[in-house]
Amino acid sequence: MKRTIEQVDVSGKRILMRVDFNVPLQDGVITDDRRIIMSLPSIRSVLDRGGSVTLMSHLGRPKGEGYESQYSLKPVAKRLEELLDTPVHFGDDDPDAEVVLLENVRFDAGEKTGSTSFSEKLAMLGDIYCNDAFGTAHRNHASMVGVPQLMEGKPCVAGLLLASELEYLGDAIEHAENPFVAVLGGIKVSDKMDAIKHLLGKVDIILIGGAMAYTFLVATGKEVGNSLVERDRIQDAKEMLDAAAVSSTELRLPHDHVCAQQIVKGTSVQVTNDPIPEGWMGVDIGPETQSKYTSTLLHAKTIVWNGPMGAFETSPFDEGTRQVAEAIAKATTNGAVSIVGGGDSAAAISAFELDAQITHISTGGGASLQMLEGKSFKSVELLDNPL
Ligand code: ADP
Ligand code: MG
């Protein structure tokens, strides 16, 4: 655990806070303000105790050659002002303003290169550094690692969002109550290989679904028709299955499949055990697998989920993902701790309106996956330990 913003005296101090305001925009309008809302507790914690904040964030992928209007944080400043019900001074520093939001840090090439001169310019702006940008925690950028190295003994603390992500994705997983079940799915086995490797020996059962199941099934000698397979990962998948066989973790693969010839609504569908016929692809876990996976989940005390079970954006191929999501929600209601990471998995939970029944839904796709891989982040290591 790290020292948090709540554990430091902020009265009369200016807090230089790195947040993740990388919100989706369409024609200058914010289409989802959740990231702004998630940062409010840390900001309010400072303002309520008589401190002021200078906020910094990136937005999108500007070239790093100066201002580009489509990547300006100006719409965020306006939305933040409404949410906080406090004026927000936007664009540059203002020592008299209670809340300042700097312009997109990535307009300066020094952000991504972690340049010392850019870090120095930022570090000068605060008496205390606070990192609340979990979504960027795995990036060694100036505002993430350059600045805390230049604070010259001033406090460097975790924001409340970052602290809760670290608590659930780090501590809760390392000290999980059993039975501990991981559900791993999604599009590519290559994305999740390191997470599987790290979880072997830590979790009791890994349930595999999604397109990545087919690379594993090919590795066991099954025929999978047109299903998505990463040919160059079949050998890795074989080695993973061998490693699982001699570990304390049971790795389960789906044994029936909802198959289609194309992923479009209204297309004809068949359910098969193996082999999947030529011309057909597995687009969701089948009904038998669904019921086996859900009964396993209902007995779990700790659940980690990353990656949908099928092409859930297209009905009826959302059924496996829905069954798994509902089982996780139910297990949580009965006392399990559930942790969901991955952008698409979080979107599925929202689409099924189960958000409130999950213990922790991570806000950072890439960063949460790296935590499941057991990686640690320099941006976090640089923060103070609790006093
Ligand atoms: P997350 O963002 O939760 O980590 P991924 O990005 O790895 O998840 O994978 C999500 C995507 O995988 C979704 O777009 C989903 O449609 C797709 N997907 C899952 N299973 C299949 C499948 N069997 N065939 C094709 N696409 C699939
Ligand atoms: Mg994704």
Among protein residues, the one whose CA lies closest to atom 27 of ligand 1: 311
Whole-angstrom distance, CA of residue 344 vs CA of residue 22: 17
Question: What is the rounded distance in angstroms from the CA atom of residue 36 to the CA atom of residue 298?
Answer: 34
- Output the residue whose Cα is nearest ligand 1's atom 10: 186
Centre of ligand 2 to C-alpha 96, Å, is: 42
CA of 343 to the centre of ligand 2 (A): 5
Return the half-sphere exposure (C-beta side, CA atoms, 13 A cut-off) of residue 310: 31
Q: Are 337 and 177 in contact (CB under 8 A)?
A: yes
- Name which residue sits closest to atom 18 of ligand 1, judged by CA: 311
- How many angstroms separate the alpha carbon of residue 370 from the centre of ligand 2? 14
pLDDT on residue 253: 98
Which residues neighbour 246 within 8 Å (Cβ) at sequence distance 6 or greater?
none
Which residues form the pocket of ligand 1, taking CB atoms under 6 Å from any ligand atom?
186-187, 191, 210-211, 228, 282-283, 306-308, 310-313, 342-345, 365
**How many Å lie between the centroid of ligand 1 and the Cα of residue 85?**
39
Domains of the chain (ranges; CATH) run: 5-164 (3.40.50.1260), 176-372 (3.40.50.1260)
Looking at all shown ligands, the one closest to residue 212's CA atom is: 1
Structure tokens at 354: 């189960």
Give the pLDDT confidence score for residue 57 in this predicted structure.
98
Model pLDDT, residue 365: 83
Between CA 170 and CA 185 the distance in angstroms is 20
Residue 225 in contact with residue 283, Cβ under 8 Å? no
Say how many Å lie between the CA of residue 345 and the centre of ligand 2. Answer: 8
Task: Give me the tens of pLDDT residue by residue for the chain, a chain 387 residues long.
Answer: 899 999 999 999 999 999 999 999 999 999 999 999 999 999 999 999 999 999 999 999 999 999 999 999 999 999 999 999 999 999 999 999 999 999 999 999 999 999 999 999 999 999 999 999 999 999 999 999 999 999 999 999 999 999 999 999 998 888 999 999 999 999 999 999 999 999 999 999 999 999 999 999 999 999 999 999 999 999 999 999 999 999 999 999 999 999 999 999 999 999 999 799 999 999 999 999 999 999 999 999 999 999 999 999 999 999 999 999 999 999 999 999 999 998 899 999 999 999 999 999 998 888 999 999 999 999 999 999 998
Strand partners for 16: 54, 129
The number of the ligand nearest the C-alpha atom of 320 reads 1
Q: Which of 169, 183, 184, 187 maximizes ligand 1 atoms within 8 Å of its Cβ, making it the mutation to test the pocket?
A: 187
For the CA of 263, the closest atom of ligand 1 is: 25
| pLDDT value of position 363 | 86
Q: Which amino acid is at 184?
A: L
Distance CA(147)–CA(129), nearest Å, equals: 8
The residues annotated with a catalytic role in the active site are 35, 188, 343, 366
Alpha helix stretches (DSSP H) within 181-318: 189-199, 212-219, 234-245, 287-298
Query: Residues 131, 144: contact at Cβ < 8 Å?
Result: yes
Mutate to test the pocket of ligand 1, among 344, 369, 373 (most ligand atoms within 8 A of CB): 344
Our measurement of the distance from residue 267's CA atom to the centroid of its chain's CA atoms, rounded to an integer in Å, reads 32
Ligand nearest to the CA of 311: 1
